[in-house]
Amino acid sequence: MDRRTPWDDYLLWAFAAVSTASIALQNVLWVALALWGFRRWRLRQPVRFPRGGFTLATHLLLASYFLGAALGVNPSQSFQTVAKYLVLLAFFPVAALELPLPRIEKLLTAFTAGAAVCAVYGIVKYSLGLEDRITSFSGHWMVFGGLLMLAVIVQVHLVRRRPRSPLTWLILVLVGAGLLLTQTRGAWLGALLGFGWYSWKIDRRLLGAGALALILGLFLLPVSLQERVRSIWDSKLSYSNMERTYMWQAGLAISRDHPFFGIGQGNMEQVYPSYRKPEAQEAVVGHLHNNFIQILAQNGWVGLLAYLFWILAYLRDAFRFRPRDPDEAGFHTILTASFLAVLAWGLTEYTFSHQFLLFQAFLLGLQWNLINSSPSVDENTGLIGHL
């Protein structure tokens, strides 16, 4: 195990704490990883990067983006933006850090604490009438909603570990309120799925408590938020429901004309108007509000199959892992619940933004650290512990 200096931990904590605040501040992660890599090189210590099915799937997914960019409708436009997906590669050095469970817990605690500060900032803006759908210090309310979705799921576990801590409960309330005020309905559903998976695996009594809290919360919400909740199933309350349907239909039409490699990253605004439904109100869109349809239109069937393989490879390793104790099981479950929540959110949103994707890669790396540190891993094959 690498005995790293405190600076490594400080920088990792800083990244976790500021990830919800802004994209620019997230760059502290690269500094932490560079220092760690330099120290390993100087001490001639070997680095154990992830290997196995998920590693292969990650490379194939990224390759499909660059292949689609090269063979799409406007390669020069595509290559101006496609490189941002390389942040997913941060999964590999994070996974190689060899972080024990106590450090993983500290990093997740820093993340939810930082998310709570950002939530307070958004709540204040909402109270002053400055924003209807709150954002963080920079970024979009959709991305903010996705990050708060993860913060809520993680904080549920931290509350369960420290149920007598008022601060832990306060953070849960703040990130939960912030998530509501982003009015990001897909993230709401993702949080419910993540909570449901965590409760089912760890303590099924939480399902009843969560259902009761949800019912009471619906009655206590302001009327505008109650209507936002009902708009999930009632399209009359939100034009965006039908608008998304029109986007998905356009995306399927695009895929029929560009079936194998898609139109390429960054070209949706250029191509969409030719496929837009006459009933659609938005003339131009940057993405199609669905991971699967977006990747199908953007990267073709090659890209969609790579994305499905990536998901299945993750689920295979995550579900096969057998934790050695309740603490390990709890954090492994909450990280798996976070991945499932992102999948649910991705049914109504394109979740591959730079800010969110980098933090998701960070969580994947933390989970690989957890799995790889377990003695249940087969060191000869790496089948269980190597995502």
Per-residue pLDDT of the chain (387 residues; tens, 9 = 90+): 445 556 678 899 999 999 999 999 999 999 999 999 888 888 888 888 988 899 999 999 999 999 999 999 999 999 989 999 999 999 999 999 989 899 999 999 999 999 999 999 999 999 999 999 999 998 889 999 999 999 999 999 999 999 999 999 999 999 999 999 999 999 999 999 999 999 999 988 888 888 888 888 777 878 777 777 777 776 665 667 788 899 999 999 999 999 999 999 999 999 999 999 988 888 888 899 999 999 999 999 999 999 999 999 999 999 999 888 899 999 999 999 999 999 999 999 999 999 999 999 999 999 999 988 765 555 443 444 444
Number of helices followed by number of strands (H, E) in the chain: 16, 0
Q: Strand, helix or coil at 165? A: coil
Cα–Cα distance list, 289 to 16, 162, 197, 374 (Å)? 26, 37, 24, 38
List the beta strands (DSSP E) in 117-273: none
* Measured CA angle at 225 (ends 190, 249), to 5 deg: 55
Query: Of all helices (H) and strands (E), which one includes residue 353?
Result: none
What distance in Å separates the CA atoms of residue 318 and residue 121, rounded to the nearest whole number?
35
